[in-house]
C-alpha cells in the first residue's frame, strides 16, 4: 500500500501536553526524525512511520500514556496490561466490559463505556475530570485506538454508523474522514463511536502470542497507520500501490476490480467521506512527501515518480496539497 501521511495539526496536538509540562518538544521531534522547523509550516505533513515513532518517543519521554492531558498519569504498560486482560475474552462485548472495569480501578479513570440496544451500540469516552486538552487529542486518539484495536481483535473491519464529538467542528475536519470513514457529528452531548450491535457478538480470534507481537508497536502505530481493514478507500490504495509512474486506472477499472458497479462504488466512497479523485491526490501527495523526506531523488525525479510529466504541474499540485513548495518542504525536513 502507498505510504500514508499525517497532518502537522496532529503532531502539534500530540505534543501540546508535553509543551505545557515544560518538556523540550524539539528533542522529541528530532528523535522521531521530524525537523522542528517543518512544524512551523501550516499544511506540512509527516509520514506514518515518523508519526508512530513520535508517539512512542512521547510516551517514553513523559512516562505517561495520557500524554499530560490528565491530572493523573497512566504509567507505560497500562494499555498493554489491559490488552493481556481482555485477550482471553470470548466476544468483543466482553472485551469492552473488562477494559472498562480495568480502567475504573484507577483514580480519575479515562475509559470507553459501552451502551447498546437491539440495533446500535455506542462506545463512549468517559472521564471523571475535565481534561486539559484544548485540541481534544486524547479523546480522538482513544476513538481511533479502540476502533482499530477492536477490528484487529475480531479480524474484520467494524463499519461505523457515526462518530460523535462533544465539541464544535474544527478547521481540520477534512482529516477526520480518513480516520473514521463514516458520517461525523459535532456539538453532541458525548464523544463516541456508534456501530451495529451485531459486532459485539463477534468472536475474539487473537491469542497471547499474536498480542505480544501486536504490542511491539501498538498503540502508537494504530494512530499512524491507515485503516487497513478493508474500507473501500484502503482497498483502492492497495490496488493502486506505490508505482505511480504509469497512468492510474480509471474509475470503471477500479470498480470492476472490486466487483462493484461504478455507481455503487461512488456511493460507498461517499459514505466514507471521500472520492476516487481525492484518493488519487492523497496517494500522490503522500508518496511525494515520502520521497522528499529522503534524499534518493531530485525534485524533478520525484515529480515523475508520482505521476507528473511536467515538474511545474507537480509544484502547483504540491503547493495546493500542503501550502508548501516541494523545495520548501524538503528544506524544512533538513
pLDDT per residue as tens digits for the range 229-266: 567 888 888 788 777 888 888 999 999 988 999 999 99
Q: Please write the tens of the pLDDT for every residue from 90-112.
A: 999 999 999 999 999 988 889 99
Q: How far apart are CA 91 and CA 199, in angstroms?
A: 9
Q: Which three cell numbers stand for residue 250?
A: 480509471
| Domain count within the chain | 3
Q: What percent of the chain has pLDDT over 90?
A: 54
Q: How far apart are CA 144 and CA 223, in angstroms?
A: 7
225 lies in a domain?
A: no
Do residues 277 and 184 both lie within one domain? Answer: no
Q: How far apart are CA 26 and CA 37, in angstroms?
A: 9
Nearest 10 degrees: Cα torsion 265, 269, 270, 276: -90
Do residues 86 and 23 both lie within one domain? Answer: no
Cell 511545474, residue located? 312
Q: Which three cell numbers stand for residue 240?
A: 493502486
- Domain hosting 245: range is 232-333
The predicted model gives 130-153 an average pLDDT of: 92
Do residues 92 and 181 both lie within one domain? Answer: yes
Q: Band of the pLDDT at 303, cuts 50, 70, 90?
A: very high
Do residues 39 and 84 both lie within one domain? Answer: no
Do residues 294 and 198 both lie within one domain? Answer: no
Per-chain mean pLDDT for the chain: 89
Do residues 302 and 323 both lie within one domain? Answer: yes
Q: pTM value?
A: 0.76
Q: Band of the pLDDT at 187, cuts 50, 70, 90?
A: very high
Amino acid at each position: 500500500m502507498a505510504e500514508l501521511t499525517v497532518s502537522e495539526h496532529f503532531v502539534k496536538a500530540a505534543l501540546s501536553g508535553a509543551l505545557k509540562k515544560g518538556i523540550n518538544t524539539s528533542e522529541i521531534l528530532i528523535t522521531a526524525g521530524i525537523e522542528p522547523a517543518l512544524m512551523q509550516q501550516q499544511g506540512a505533513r509527516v509520514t506514518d512511520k515518523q508519526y508512530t515513532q513520535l508517539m512512542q518517543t512521547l510516551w517514553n519521554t513523559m512516562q505517561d500514556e495520557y500524554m499530560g492531558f490528565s491530572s493523573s498519569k497512566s504509567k507505560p504498560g497500562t494499555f498493554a496490561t489491559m490488552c493481556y486482560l481482555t485477550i482471553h475474552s470470548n466476544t468483543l462485548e466482553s472485551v469492552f466490559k473488562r477494559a472498562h472495569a480495568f480502567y475504573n480501578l484507577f483514580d480519575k479513570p479515562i475509559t470507553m463505556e459501552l451502551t447498546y440496544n437491539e440495533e446500535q451500540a455506542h462506545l463512549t469516552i468517559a472521564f471523571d475530570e475535565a481534561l486539559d486538552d484544548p485540541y481534544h487529542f486524547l479523546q480522538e486518539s482513544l476513538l481511533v485506538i479502540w476502533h482499530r484495536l477492536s477490528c484487529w481483535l475480531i479480524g474484520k473491519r467494524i463499519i461505523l454508523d457515526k462518530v460523535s464529538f462533544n465539541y464544535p467542528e474544527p478547521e481540520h475536519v477534512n482529516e477526520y474522514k480518513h480516520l473514521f470513514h463514516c458520517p461525523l457529528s459535532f456539538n453532541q452531548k458525548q464523544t463516541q463511536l456508534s456501530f451495529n450491535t451485531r459486532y459485539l457478538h463477534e468472536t475474539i480470534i487473537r491469542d497471547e502470542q499474536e498480542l505480544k507481537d501486536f504490542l511491539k508497536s501498538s498503540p502508537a502505530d494504530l494512530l499512524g497507520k491507515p485503516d487497513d481493514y478493508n474500507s473501500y478507500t484502503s482497498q483502492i490504495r492497495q490496488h493502486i500501490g506505490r508505482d505511480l509512474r504509469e497512468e492510474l486506472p480509471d474509475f470503471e477499472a477500479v470498480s470492476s476490480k472490486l466487483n462493484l458497479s461504478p455507481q455503487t462504488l461512488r456511493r460507498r466512497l461517499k459514505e466514507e467521506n471521500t472520492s476516487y479523485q481525492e484518493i488519487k491526490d492523497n496517494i500522490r501527495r503522500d508518496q511525494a512527501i515520502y520521497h522528499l523526506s529522503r534524499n534518493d531523488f531530485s525534485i524533478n525525479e520525484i515529480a515523475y515518480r508520482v505521476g507528473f510529466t511536467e515538474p511545474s504541474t507537480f509544484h502547483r499540485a504540491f503547493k495546493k496539497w500542503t501550502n508548501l513548495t516541494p523545495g520548501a518542504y524538503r528544506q524544512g525536513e533538513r
